Structure 1
Amino acid sequence: MRYRITGIIYLMAAITLFAGEPIINTLTVEQETARFTRSEDWKSMIQTGQKALKKGIDFYNLRYRLGIAYYQLENYHAAIRHFTRAYRINSADPLLKEYLYWAYRYAGREGDARILAAGFSQELKRKAGVPDRFPGEYLSVSLNAGFPVDKSFTDDYVNDTGLAINGSQFLSKTLGYADVGLYKIFSPRLSVYGSYARLRKTSYLYAQENGVAVTKPDYVTNLNQIYLSGTYHVAQGTDLTFGAHFINLVYLRDRYVFEGLQGRIVTDEITDNDRLSFVSVFHSFPYVTTGMTALFSNLNQNNQIQGDWQLTVYPLGNLNLYGGFILSYVHQDPDENMVITDLLMGGKLLSWLWVEGMYATGDLHHASRHQGYIVYNGMDVITRRIGGRWIFPVSDDLTIRLNYTYQNHESSFRPDNTSLPETNPIHYKSHSITGALQWNF
């Protein structure tokens, strides 16, 4: 009898719980999500939709309304996920196409947006506000000035290396450059970027050859640089980028000429060329973009192979906050290996101001950053970089950027005979300031 009563109690409790639990099926989910959408209760819409998906309930209107809810909350990564699922069920809905296009745009996935818009009718393009030409093309102009923190750091230069060892030591003093770049979109899948930069660098140079020492406090190197890259949108969320960087260096070199028992120094103008090529693949996941880059170069007459792994996280599902890193491995023949780490965090601080902070550490000598766009081919070594960027979107057509970087340098006397160790290490610091204008057209 006791067991029968216990069973009845458990049965009544189960019936009570079941009665209190709302029935969830396709009809009730359709009714509830429609009601939340009409009232613009986006958080309740998402809660109901997620519960339905966990129970295996999945249909077009549910995905479509979840996409709208996340879109209205500016979580474009989640919106894309649900809009894409809805698009697989019904790709003919023009309003869905419009939402998905702008979700791609606001998430920074321009290639996906262009591919989607290429299939729009003229009426839908007009209704959705899709430009007649591909948006995002621009012309940019950058100016840079780099200079040491302590301008007198070379005044007390001393080198105790014996004059019998031929070699040289460079300490960077100033760097200035002007850069002009153009980004052009040729088709929904293919875009190209090209730039030309003119650099002028001054260094403190100490060199010794055949028992003669020479000091040049303002040794000048001029560089002409051409950078070309193309990006092909392979598939949804996936881009393949390839390109090259050509560097022409012009500098003066002294050589000692013997004339009988006497000798004299002759200065020659030397022209040299460095080259770099690369290929990258990037893929966008919800909240995360990751990619890998392989680079091949011959900077300063040495062969380098570099591999980069990059990861960027968007915790809010939009471009208002992001952070990530680049981890690089650099091998230079014959047996020099380096690891470089870049950390980046940025986001929207005000409606008219975006801010980024970065920190990089590692031996940047003979390395490159940003898919080979920035090349470190100087004779000294940059071991650490700390900086920030301020971005001012003045209008839809004009953006102003201001960059500042604080850098740690290390310079050593390098013997011409590479089997000998480097000597006379000197540590110093520098500032780097860059201003840029970007015109969108």
Structure 2
Amino acid sequence: MEYRKLTIIFVLLFAVLVAHAQDIGVVVPDSTVDQLYNAGNWKQLINFVNKTVTNSTDSPALHFKVGYAYMLTGNYKAAISQFNRVLVKEPQNTTARLYNYYCNTYINNNSAAFYSASRLDQETLRGIKLSPYGLTDATLESGIKLPANNERDNGFFERAGIGARLFWRLQLDQSFIFFKQNIFRSRFIDYKNQVGRTDKQTEYYVRAKYSLAKNISLIGAYHYLHTSYRSNINQSNLGLFGIKYDTRYIDLQGDINWGKLIDKTLKQYDAKVDFYPLGNLNLYTMSRASILNLSGVHTFIYSQSVGFKILDKTWLESAATFGNQDDYLDADGLYVYNSIDPTKFKCGESVFYQIGNHALLNLNYFYEKKTDIYRAVKYNQNSVTLGITWKF
């Protein structure tokens, strides 16, 4: 009997010690976090939580404070992750949802931002500065292509685009595009007037993005092209469907493009990975692998970009694309590389400069290796594009 009593007492004492240890494990971190939070020591708060608090800890108050610290130190992707954990337990936490909205706008993720805004009350929404017409952005681009080929004239590219929010979770982007280039070839040239054949292309592009969930978006796009060259006129129709999934530091996208381009049947399968190691746009990479099926001929194309902030309001982005880019579709099918001569390799540099709170100026330079389809000779081409985007 005495043995049983001692066993029961030992078990009770052990249970009390375990409960006390658990209380200490919660109280001490919370107390330290509160002190760091109230003092505004954001980096120390983040370091303390990362070292002492396990991932299994599910305290909304703790996640909110850590998320706020991440937001103020510029790690917006990590802040979003913390605010999302708050909202799982407290879906009516307006402040966490509002901060989630702002963090997504800081990394240009409108789909996730508008998903958060769709669940805010009207009073909170009135504090967000948005276009009363639902406009999100407007873009103008103008470019020139300079081929090192005496049978190719300079090419000219123009694009005007507008983005709008139809509903909180549905955005629509539209672009009108024009391209023109004179093609000289011995039997086409009017030697008296020095006039060759003109390659003209007028295009309309529309893309819809629907926020299915806080970190999942569906993408659909349509691209119409009216192409005239020599005595031929072609009307091409291309479509795209894709899905994008956002994680803490990596965004994943898969999509398929299909349709008829000039006289070729096209299918293109893309897998894209965007990586934000700092949780913001101070450093990012974009990797994209594509399989292009052009009337039964398969081509593998790989594109890699690296962007980083070099000065206040100034970013650089380096990019290269490898593979035969004949009729290659880029940027969710926005850019269609179906020029007379295919591009075999492309690389370049882009500079982005923020003007005020709304305007973003960009200057792009690209170097291309191309092949003349009539003479089977290789030549180089330099392209320069100037653009400006206004964010409402």
Aligned residue number for residue 14 of structure 2: none
Corresponding letter in the other structure for 1:272: N
SS at match of 1:298: strand
1:280 aligns with 2:242: yes
1:157-236 counterparts in 2 under 5 A? Answer: 172-205=152-185, 218-236=196-214
Give the C-alpha shift of residue 343 in structure 1: 0.8
Aligned residue number for residue 243 of structure 1: 221
Structure number with the bigger relative contact order (C-alpha 8 A, sep ≥ 6) is 1
Question: Cα gap change, 1:281/1:94 in structure 2, threshold over 3 Å: closer, same or farther?
Answer: closer
1:35-434 counterparts in 2 under 5 A? Answer: 35-54=35-54, 56-126=56-126, 129-131=128-130, 133=132, 137-148=136-147, 150=148, 153-154=149-150, 172-205=152-185, 218-252=196-230, 269-334=231-296, 336-413=297-374, 424-434=375-385
Q: Which runs of 5+ in 2 are unaligned?
A: 1-20
SS at match of 1:96: helix
> CA offsets, 1:86-141, max 9 Å, x none?
22222333433332222222233322222222332343335x54547487612222
Aligned-partner Cα distance in 2 for 1:112–1:310: 18
Q: Which runs of 5+ in 1 are unaligned?
A: 1-20, 155-170, 207-212, 253-268, 414-423
Is the 8 Å Cα contact of residues 382 and 410 (structure 1) preserved in structure 2? yes
Question: Cα gap change, 1:367/1:92 in structure 2, threshold over 3 Å: closer, same or farther?
Answer: closer
Is the 8 Å Cα contact of residues 108 and 319 (structure 1) preserved in structure 2? no
Give the C-alpha shift of residue 50 in structure 1: 2.7
Question: Cα gap change, 1:226/1:80 in structure 2, threshold over 3 Å: closer, same or farther?
Answer: same
Give the C-alpha shift of residue 32 in structure 1: 0.9
Question: Cα gap change, 1:135/1:24 in structure 2, threshold over 3 Å: closer, same or farther?
Answer: farther
Give the C-alpha shift of residue 39 in structure 1: 1.5
SS at match of 2:184: strand
Is the 8 Å Cα contact of residues 197 and 225 (structure 1) preserved in structure 2? yes
Question: Cα gap change, 1:125/1:378 in structure 2, threshold over 3 Å: closer, same or farther?
Answer: closer
Is the 8 Å Cα contact of residues 98 and 116 (structure 2) preserved in structure 1? no
Aligned-partner Cα distance in 2 for 1:345–1:440: 23
Aligned-partner Cα distance in 2 for 1:172–1:281: 39
Aligned-partner Cα distance in 1 for 2:260–2:93: 53
Tell me how large the CA RMSD over aligned residues is: 2.4
Give the C-alpha shift of residue 51 in structure 1: 3.9
Question: Cα gap change, 1:55/1:172 in structure 2, threshold over 3 Å: closer, same or farther?
Answer: closer
Corresponding letter in the other structure for 2:221: G
> CA offsets, 1:359-417, max 9 Å, x none?
1111011221111111122232100111111112212232222111111001244xxxx
Corresponding letter in the other structure for 1:29: P
TM-score (norm 2): 0.87
